[in-house]
Every structure is written in C-alpha cells, then in structure tokens.
Amino acid sequence: MPKYYVNKNAQSNGDHEVHKEGCNWLPFEENRIYLGYHSDCKSAVKEAEKHYTRVNGCYYCSEACHTG
C-alpha cells in the first residue's frame, strides 16, 4: 500500500490536495501532513478530512479522487 500526504497549503480555490508518495507534485516535507498507508485515494481523502474541510485528490497521482 502506498503512503499518502495532504498539502498544508491550500490551492487557490481553498482545496488541500492529497498526494501519493512519489508524485511529482508532492509538496516538500515541511508543507505536508502524513496520512498513513492507504489502499486507495478515497480512504486517504477521508483521513485528510480530519485535518481540513476542503480536500481534493491530486489530478496526477490521485485522479480517482480529483473533483476538478
């Protein structure tokens, strides 16, 4: 299972993006929160929602959870 992280810095629309380890868009360590190992982005997004109300999957590494 891959490790997932959520970006501490919100996008311009207010969303905090969830990234899988190894993603080219994964923020630097000081700008992310470790979410743990997850079998898919959906459970990682649920975990990220414990930290932020506006969460979205990364278009590149968590496309199934990207809402646009």
Per-residue pLDDT tens digits for 10-42: 999 999 999 999 999 999 999 999 999 999 999
Kindly report the pTM of this predicted structure: 0.95
Place of tokens 């959520």: 6
Sequence spans of domains, the chain: 3-65
Residues 55 and 27: their CA atoms lie apart, in Å, by: 15
